[in-house]
Amino acid sequence: MPRRGPKLARKLGRKLRLPAAYLRSWRAARAAHDSFADLERFCLFVGYPRSGHSLVGSLLDAHAEMIIAHELHVLRYLRYGFSREQIFALLLERSRAQAEAGRAATGYSYVVPNQWQGRFRRLRVIGDKRGGTSIRKLTSRPHLLPRLRARIGLPLCFVHVVRNPFDNVATIWRRSRSRDLASSIDHYFQMVAGVERLRAQLAPGDVLDVRHEDLLDDPSRELLRLCAFLGVEAHGDWLRDCASIVWRSPKRTRDEVEWPDAARERVAKEAERVPFLAGYCFER
């Protein structure tokens, strides 16, 4: 029970801030109305915590024709009746604030030098990097997806970042105060099942799978795929500057955990049945 106190206080605090956010975003939306005229796509991230979403979102936000905010939680504002342009204004606000703060997340800085984080030249794609929460809300409340489509009025594009499931599970467990390894495995594969349910509601071309390991191995190739998916051009200087901040190899969090044989076998077996996790194993 004591652990619920801070969580409930944060939830209450967010609700109390909603009226101010409503008025602020209403004013900002009126001022930025013309900036939204060229928008073509709305981008959301779905997936799992600690998969590389923050890196991908920051790289896209550095593009001159994209704004990808960090953790706004669009679905909350949808629920409370914010208009499409109010949501767009909040995304702009969050992107600018993150850029001014050094685009930091999970102890890392994701600043792309010389590029457009927090601003744009011509805005064609806007969205939110909020992977784990988005998938939980969209699958537990199926009515949210059609509501989102109707409210936003743009094609929805879902970026699904995956990494080795052993690393995901290990990081979930190590950063949790309440989960043991077995329940961390449960939590991860519940999110995987949520992604599978969401994909069943979408056209194949609405979702792009990005492997974290592939992004680190060849950033330019994966960023070209992302730009093609989102309908924008990948300029050479943007590709170069993005590649300059990408690490050359993924952190193997799985090596920092003692894996009972049964837990290792369970993750391998569960991952084997999921097409977008094909090929992953403990060794690589």
Q: pLDDT tens, 191-242? A: 999 999 999 999 989 999 999 999 999 999 999 999 999 999 999 999 999 9
- Whether the Cβ atoms of residue 78 and residue 106 lie closer than 8 Å to each other: no
Beta strands 104-105 and 108-109, pairing class: antiparallel
Domains defined along the chain, listed by start: 21-277 (3.40.50)
Q: What is the mean pLDDT of residues 94-113?
A: 86
Q: How many CB atoms lie within 10 A of CB 204?
A: 6
pLDDT for res 124: 98
Q: pLDDT tens, 46-69? A: 988 778 889 999 999 999 999 999
Residue identified by tokens 């391998």 is 268
Q: What is the pTM of this model?
A: 0.91
Distance between CA atoms of 201 and 217, rounded to whole angstroms?
31
Q: pLDDT tens, 181-191? A: 999 999 999 99
Percentage above 70 pLDDT, the chain? 93
